Chains A and B, each alone.
Chain A
């Protein structure tokens, strides 16, 4: 079936560097995407979302880019900090009434001090 997947299972960066986490999706009907951060032993935490009528959205230290042509999503984290270490998931929203999420397998971001 259709799914959302991530290119890099593990990403190791130095503190202060910028991080880029990538995600590919296959359902061209999806019009809403979300990035979540999950720390060990906790539930996923909402970071940022983007609708398909946008190609870029910025938050505090984070930016999400959406390329609908190649069905690609990325999360950029500026000045990565040790507290950013976590697993990051992109999710594709299917259906506005049900708001169901299809998650990828996740990318582990390890920030080296």
Chain B
């Protein structure tokens, strides 16, 4: 069966520090991969998606970037975090035309 892993579960970072969040999927090949951010009590906002290795589409202008160095690995990064980058970050995967399945997220707090 397919599983998705996100880490770390929680992260506290100072303003101006770099960020790297990792997401990996097991049990499937060539999945679509997604990064979302969720503010407290709100819906999910799509940040990036990828339909293949090295293929990244950005949905909103921001202080973040994404990379897909391997088929089942998706990384969310920042060179310098802002206070506004705080939130709950979720990774998801899907086969084409099927529902997305989500990881358990990373709670990011910027101090």
> Would B43 and A106 count as touching, CB distance under 8 A?
yes
Known: A97-B96, A99-B96, A99-B97. A104 touches B43 (CB 8 A): yes
Q: Does A83 contact B (CB under 8 A)?
A: no
A78-110 near B? 1/0 per residue, CB < 8 Å: 000000000001000000111111111110000
Question: What's the tally of chain A residues with a CB closer than 8 Å to chain B?
Answer: 22
Question: What's the tally of chain B residues with a CB closer than 8 Å to chain A?
Answer: 24
> Would B101 and A46 count as touching, CB distance under 8 A?
yes
Smallest CB-CB separation from B59: which chain A residue?
Answer: A100
Other than the known A101-B34, A105-B43, what 14 A-B pairs have Cβ atoms closer than 8 Å? A41-B107, A42-B104, A43-B92, A43-B102, A43-B103, A49-B99, A89-B43, A97-B51, A98-B32, A99-B100, A100-B49, A101-B44, A101-B46, A102-B46
The chain B residues found within 8 Å of chain A, CB to CB, are 32, 34, 42-46, 49, 51, 57, 90, 92, 94, 96-105, 107
Q: List 7 A-B contacts (CB under 8 A).
A: A43-B90, A44-B102, A49-B99, A97-B96, A101-B100, A105-B42, A106-B42
